[in-house]
Amino acid sequence: MVVSIIGIGLLGGSFALALRQKYPNVRFVGVDTSVVNQKIALAKGIVDEIVDLEEALTISELNVLSTPVDAISKMLPRMLDLLPEGRTIMDLGSTKELICQLADTHPKRGQFVAAHPMAGTEDSGPGAAFKELLPHKNVIVCDKEKSNPDSLGLVETFLRDAGMKIHYMKPVEHDLHLAYVSHLSHISSFALGLTVLDKEADEKAIFAMASTGFSSTVRLAKSSPQMWAPIFDQNKTNVSKALGDYIELLKKFKEAIDNKDLDTSLNYMSRANDIGRVLAGIEKK
């Protein structure tokens, strides 16, 4: 069996590395527009061979589309056009509504499975891929009833064999929740990093004074702009709403500080403390 990884980055690369341990007889081929990514993917043993997109679609039982989401939207309809009968395309994109809508209008909709693993780091590219990224993580599969049983079964088996726990969800739900539990975190971190960099032209002061709390909060500001700009764009309505909610709360917090209204500050923080219970649940899962 041949599996293709189209867009060999952190997610696609880590998926291949996790699967290779369970599937010694599968040949992994890679498609990537970046020559450096091609070389790194071969050097790390993520894929056995680099091929072009048409060839990948011709030879692969499963095609894993793991490019940034703007490229997924552009490529998916044409890839379905070229896809032979009985073969499957899955994507790993961080947004699902637009991608599923595009697939819905295609006659080969059944051969597509929409998935999104709840895993990542602030690093990107095949150099950042590692086989431990996906095991024990959750993965969301959307609109499973629109996929053929064979395509769905193949994808579910591979996701489980990569060590992941599958949850099912509508694309609309997925994008709404993700705006709050992922996309907003990234924007808050990008903006925090930039606010501090703009103010603290003297980096020595940051080095001397920042501690682990700061590092943890701005870590996501290292994330890839090319990956995140299209995510925010494809999930514009939800992200804008989440960001609006966040800004409103920050303004109220600022007002409480300005007015020396410690009761209100204390109330916000005490309620926020409840996130400890949620984090314990995330770490336990």
Burial (CB count <10 Å: 0-12, 13-18, 19+), residue 269? exposed
User: In the window 145-164, what residues touch its own copies (CB under 8 A)?
Assistant: none
Based on the shown chain and the rule CB under 8 A, indicate whether residue 85 belongs to the binding site for its own copies: no
Binding residue (CB under 8 A) for its own copies from 105, 107, 145, 209: 209
DSSP result, 41-98: HHHTTS-SEE--HHHHHHH-SEEEE-S-HHHHHHHHHHHHHHPPTT-EEEE--S--HH
Task: For its own copies, give the closer residue by CB, 11 or 103.
Answer: 11
Give yes or no for residue 74 binding its own copies (CB under 8 A): no
Map the footprint of its own copies across residues 239-278, applying CB under 8 A: 239-240, 242-247, 249-251, 253-254, 257-258, 260, 262, 265-266, 268-276, 278
Secondary structure element (H or E) that encloses residue 35, with its range:
helix 35-43
Using CB under 8 A as the binding rule, whether residue 115 contacts its own copies is answered as: no
* Sole binder of its own copies in the list 21, 101, 157, 216 (CB under 8 A): 216
Q: How far apart are CA 75 and CA 5, in angstroms?
A: 14
The DSSP symbol for 222 reads G
Out of 42, 53, 102, 206, name the contact with its own copies by CB under 8 A: 206
Nearer to its own copies, 42 or 210 (CB): 210
Alpha-carbon distance 29 to 46, whole Å?
9
Quote the DSSP letter at residue 256: H
Cβ at position 56, least distance to its own copies in Å: 28
For residues 48 and 19, give the distance between their C-alpha atoms in angstroms, rounded to a whole number: 13
Q: Which of the residues 3 through 42 are near its own copies (CB under 8 A)?
A: none
> C-beta of 164: minimal distance to its own copies in Å?
12
| 112: three-class secondary structure by DSSP | strand
The Cα–Cα gap between 110 and 103 comes to: 9
The residue among 84 and 170 lying less far from its own copies, judged by its C-beta, is 170
Q: Is 172 in the site for its own copies (CB under 8 A)?
A: no
Please report whether residue 53 would count as binding its own copies according to CB under 8 A: no
> Which of 1, 36, 172, 194 touches its own copies by CB under 8 A?
194
C-beta closer to its own copies: residue 101 or 216 = 216
Identify the residue among 26, 42, 71, 210 touching its own copies (CB under 8 A).
210
Nearer to its own copies, 54 or 285 (CB): 285
Residue 226 carries which side chain, given as an amino acid letter?
Answer: Q
Residues 175, 248: Cα–Cα separation, whole Å: 21
Instruction: Report if residue 107 touches its own copies, rule: CB under 8 A.
Output: no
Please identify, using beta-carbon distances, which residue of 23 and 246 lies nearer to its own copies.
Answer: 246
**Rounded CA gap, 180 and 243, in Å?**
9
- Does 136 bind its own copies (CB under 8 A)? Our answer is no
**Is the Cβ–Cβ distance between 246 and 188 less than 8 Å?**
yes
Element (H, E) at 12: helix 10-22
- Whole-Å CA distances, 171 to 5, 28, 70, 94, 260: 23, 29, 16, 11, 44
- Would you say 1 or 205 has its CB closer to its own copies? 205
Quick check: 96 binds its own copies (CB under 8 A)? no
